[in-house]
């Protein structure tokens, strides 16, 4: 497995809508493993393929707490098919927007349909951190960033900061 370079804001690739995965094969499973290695190295709890430059509908997540065994999950073509009535607020960050965190309000539960690593259609009902993480990563597949869920004023400040950093890099 190998660690991939992360795409960082303001790279326009982050706004691209990802293409569906046609079929799960050994090449794609190896790529998903590389994504997990990249996520763990960063460190993070979720990563979308677009964040490493591949516009594919593929997400990896591991919300295991520090000190617990790793519990990686791979989602091909994930889509939210239902959301709960209530909402939760979590402080979110993003590997593509380093060192910036903001509270984001999202539905407290989601039902996600996806294809697993064996190519089988699955459905999962998630709440808490897993629901937030799935929504955050699926947003990436649609060209949406977590900063799109905060005030325009804060979002504009973040964009200016990262554009300035990109110019000086």
| Structure confidence at residue 169 (pLDDT) | 72
Tell me: the pLDDT tens digits for 61-100? 999 998 899 999 999 999 999 999 999 999 999 999 999 9
Choose the catalytic residue: 22, 79, 85, 137.
137
Stretch 40-57: mean pLDDT, rounded?
Answer: 97
Nearest to 6 by CA among 50, 51, 62: 51
pLDDT(46) > 90: yes
Topology of the domain covering 12-168: Peptide Deformylase (3.90.45)
Separation of alpha carbons 35 and 39, rounded Å: 6
Task: Give the CB-side neighbour count of residue 36, counting CA atoms within 13 A.
Answer: 17
- Give yes or no: 92 in active site: no
Domain ranges (residues) in the chain = 12-168
Specify the residue for token string 């190295």.
41
């Amino acid at each position: 497995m190998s660690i991939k370079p992360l795409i960082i804001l303001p790279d326009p690739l982050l706004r691209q809508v990802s293409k569906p995965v046609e079929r799960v094969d050994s090449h794609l499973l190896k790529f998903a493993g590389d994504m997990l290695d990249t996520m763990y190295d960063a460190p993070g709890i979720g990563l979308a393929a677009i964040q490493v430059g591949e516009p594919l509908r593929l997400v990896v997540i591991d919300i295991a707490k520090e000190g617990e065994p790793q519990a990686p999950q791979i989602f091909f073509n994930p889509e939210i098919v239902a959301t709960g009535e209530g909402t939760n607020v979590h402080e979110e960050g993003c590997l593509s927007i380093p060192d910036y965190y903001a509270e984001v309000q999202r539905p407290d539960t989601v039902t996600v349909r996806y294809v697993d690593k064996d190519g089988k259609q699955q459905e999962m009902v998630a709440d808490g951190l897993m629901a937030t993480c799935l929504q955050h990563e699926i947003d990436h597949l649609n060209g949406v960033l977590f900063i799109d869920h905060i005030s325009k004023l804060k979002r504009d400040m973040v964009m200016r900061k990262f554009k300035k950093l990109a110019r000086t890099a």
